[in-house]
């Protein structure tokens, strides 16, 4: 399980040192893709396979399902940690997430998210995001 927030830098080759506490979960490899809210989702291989199965079950006849699956899979790439514990982020994902040198890696349970530091800070400063309100809305849904 991944949790926490760690700020790191991305080098000029698109390499990011993964926080030590997250490395163990991706020793066998990972898949990263365009995430929601303009971040990058990084899944350990076993979680990626679970996500893949869920997406395969979406109805092909539903336009939004097709669009989401295209979006999700078209941005995906697999990888492995290098000897220094780094991942390499492809340029298309760097551009999508507006990553330059400063990034934030957060653990979100079964996956990690990689954010541009400025987008993450903006997301957290968004006054429309109220932890209490979100919790209440989820409770109203029975979650």
| Number of compact structural domains in the chain | 1
Task: Provide the 8-state DSSP code for 121.
Answer: H
Confirm if 23 and 81 have CB atoms less than 8 A apart.
yes
Does the residue 98 lie in any domain? yes
pTM, two decimals, is 0.90
Give the tens place of pLDDT for each residue, 3-23.
999 999 999 999 999 988 899
d(CA 78, CA 31): 4
Domain limits at 26? 5-117
Give the tens place of pLDDT for each residue, 35-77.
999 999 999 999 999 999 999 899 989 999 999 999 999 999 9
Does the residue 67 lie in any domain? yes
- For the domain that residue 30 is a member of, what is the CATH number? 3.40.1550.20
Does the residue 123 lie in any domain? no
- The contacts of residue 4 (CB under 8 Å, 6+ apart) are 19, 21, 106, 107
Does the residue 66 lie in any domain? yes
CA dihedral (126, 128, 133, 134) positive or negative: negative
Confirm if 81 and 26 have CB atoms less than 8 A apart.
yes
Does the residue 34 lie in any domain? yes
Q: Please give the helix or strand (H or E) that residue 138 lies within, else none.
A: helix 131-140
Does the residue 101 lie in any domain? yes
């Amino acid at each position: 399980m991944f949790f926490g927030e760690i700020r790191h830098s991305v080098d000029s080759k698109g390499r990011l040192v993964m926080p030590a506490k997250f490395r163990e979960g991706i020793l066998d490899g990972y898949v990263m893709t365009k995430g929601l809210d303009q971040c990058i989702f990084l899944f350990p291989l076993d979680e990626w396979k679970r996500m893949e199965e869920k997406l395969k079950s979406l109805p092909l006849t539903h336009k939004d399902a097709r669009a989401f699956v295209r979006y999700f899979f078209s941005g995906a790439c697999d990888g492995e940690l290098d000897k220094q514990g780094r991942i390499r982020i492809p340029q298309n994902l760097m551009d999508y997430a507006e990553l330059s040198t400063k990034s934030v890696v957060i653990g979100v349970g079964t996956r990690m998210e990689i954010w541009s530091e400025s987008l993450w800070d903006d997301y957290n400063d968004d006054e429309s995001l109220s932890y209490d309100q979100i919790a209440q809305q989820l409770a109203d849904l029975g979650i």
